[in-house]
Structure 1
Amino acid sequence: MATMIQADTTVHVVDDDAALRDSLAFLISTNDLEPRLYASPLELLEAARREPLSGCILTDVRMPEMSGIDLARRLRASGATTPIVVMTGHADLALAVEAMRAGVQDFIEKPFDDAVLIEALQRALAEPDGARTAARDPLVAERLASLSQRELEVLEGLVAGHANKVIAYDLGISPRTVEVYRANVMTKMQVRSLSELVRVTVLTRGG
C-alpha cells in the first residue's frame, strides 16, 4: 500500500508584536501545526540563510525594520520558494495587491476569524502554489471577461485599494451605485470576500 506523504506542518510566524506572536503561536499549535517565531523579518532571513525554510511563512505586512512585502521580495530574490501568507489591515488592499505581485501566495485581512487563518495556512502547506493555480483556472478568466465596462471600472478601483466613496467620485456616480456594482462583480466572480476578489483578479492577470 502506498504511503501518503505528509505536508510539512511548520509555520514561520514573523511579527514585531510579541503578544500577537504568542497568540498566533497558541492558535497554530492547537490546530496541529508547528509554529516557529521571529520578532523581525531580519531574524527570519538569517534563519533562511542558514538552511532552507520548510513549511510556510506567516508575516504581518507592516513592521518597523522591513515590511512583509520587502521580506517576500528578499526571499524570492534569494531563490526561496517557501509559500508566504501575509496579514494585512482592513484598509491595506493596495498593499495586499503589491504583496501578491512580490510573490506572496495568499493574504488575509485583519481582523480575521481563526478558522480563516488556519484554512489559509493549511492551504499554503498542502498546496504551495494553490492560490495562484486556482486563480489561473480558465473559468476565473471567463468570469472576469463577463463583467460589463462599468463593473470593470469599479473592479479596477477595488483592486487599487480605493474606498467606495473614492471610486464613486472618480466615476461620477453615487457610493450606493458603487455598492451595487461591487455586489454584482462579486456575484459574477463567485467570490465570498473583497480580499478573495482582489487576489483572484491580480493573479489571473499575472500581477
Structure 2
Amino acid sequence: MAELTSLVIVVDDDAHLREALGNLFRSVGMRVELFGSTSALLDRPATVTAASCLVLDIRLPGVSGLDFQNQLANLGNNIPIIFMTGHGDVPMSVRAMKAGAIDFLTKPFRDQDMLDAVSNALVLDRARRTSDGELSALVKRYESLTSREREVIALVTSGLMNKQIAGELGVSEITVKIHRGHVMEKMGVRTLAELVKKYETILPRLKR
C-alpha cells in the first residue's frame, strides 16, 4: 500500500474519468487532487512536500498535456508524469517519453496498469527528493566554508599537492594543511577521494 503522504494529481477534462481515477487511487491509500485543465492546476499552491506524480491527459482544452510538460520542465518542476490518451498517437507517445514522461497509457487502460505506473512514478519521485535533499545539505556545507577554504578546496580537488597550493596562494604549507583540515571537517569527509566526489557533485549547482 502506498504511503498516505503520497499525492497523485490528475488532470483530465472528462469528469467521469477524473472521479474514477480519484476513487481508484484513494482505494489504495493515496491522496488525490483532481483538475479539469492545466490552468486549474496552475492555480493551486506550487509547493508539494510529499512524493507525488502527475497523471495527465494528452489532449486537453487550452494548453495540451505535451505543452504543459514543456512548461513544467522550463519551470524546473521535475514531477514524474504519466500520460493518458484515447488516440494511441505513436508520435505523441515518443515525444512524451523523450521529454521525460514515466509512462504512456492508452484509454481504456486496466486499473492495475495505472496503479503500477503511478507506484513506479512515486518511487522515482521519492528517490529524487532524497537526492535533492542530500545535495542541498552538501551545498550548505560548502557555503559554510570561508573564501580561502573555497580556494583551497578548488585547488585540492584539481590535483595539486599542499606545497603547490601554498605557492599558488602565497601562504605556508602549514597554513594550507590547516585550511585543508577545516575543509575536510566542514564537508564531512575523511578522505581526498570523498572530498573530490562531493565537490564534483555540487559543482554544477555552484556554477548556476
TM-score, length of structure 2 as denominator length: 0.54
Q: Does 1:31 align with 2:31?
A: no
| AA partner of residue 13 (structure 2) | D
Q: Does 1:51 align with 2:47?
A: yes
Structure 1 residue 12 displacement after superposition: 0.4
Q: Is the 8 A contact 1:88 1:96 kept in 2?
A: no
CA distance in 2, matches of 1:96, 1:31: 27
Higher alpha-carbon Rg: 2
**Structure 2 alignment gaps of length 5 or more:** 128-208
Q: What is the 5 A alignment of 1:66-145? A: 66-128=63-125
Correspondent of 1:12 among 9, 12, 17:
9
Q: Is the 8 A contact 1:86 1:107 kept in 2?
A: yes
CA RMSD of aligned residues (A): 2.2
Q: Which residue of 2 aligns with 1:153?
A: none
CA distance in 1, matches of 2:90, 2:101: 14
In the superposition, relative to structure 1, how do residues 111 and 28 fare at CA in structure 2: closer, same or farther (>3 Å)? same
CA distance in 1, matches of 2:77, 2:24: 26
CA distance in 1, matches of 2:49, 2:58: 19
| AA partner of residue 22 (structure 1) | E
Q: Is the 8 A contact 1:105 1:124 kept in 2?
A: yes
Correspondent of 1:65 among 57, 62, 67:
62
CA distance in 1, matches of 2:38, 2:49: 13
Q: Is the 8 A contact 1:89 1:109 kept in 2?
A: yes
User: Aligned pairs, how many?
Assistant: 124
More contact order relative to length (CA 8 Å, sep ≥ 6): 1
CA distance in 2, matches of 1:93, 1:128: 26
Secondary structure at 1:12 match in 2: strand
| AA partner of residue 51 (structure 1) | T
> Residue by residue, what CA displacement relative to the aligned partner does 1:49-72 show, whole Å, maximum 9, x if unpaired?
x42474110011111111111111
**Structure 1 alignment gaps of length 5 or more:** 1-5, 131-207
TM-score, length of structure 1 as denominator length: 0.55
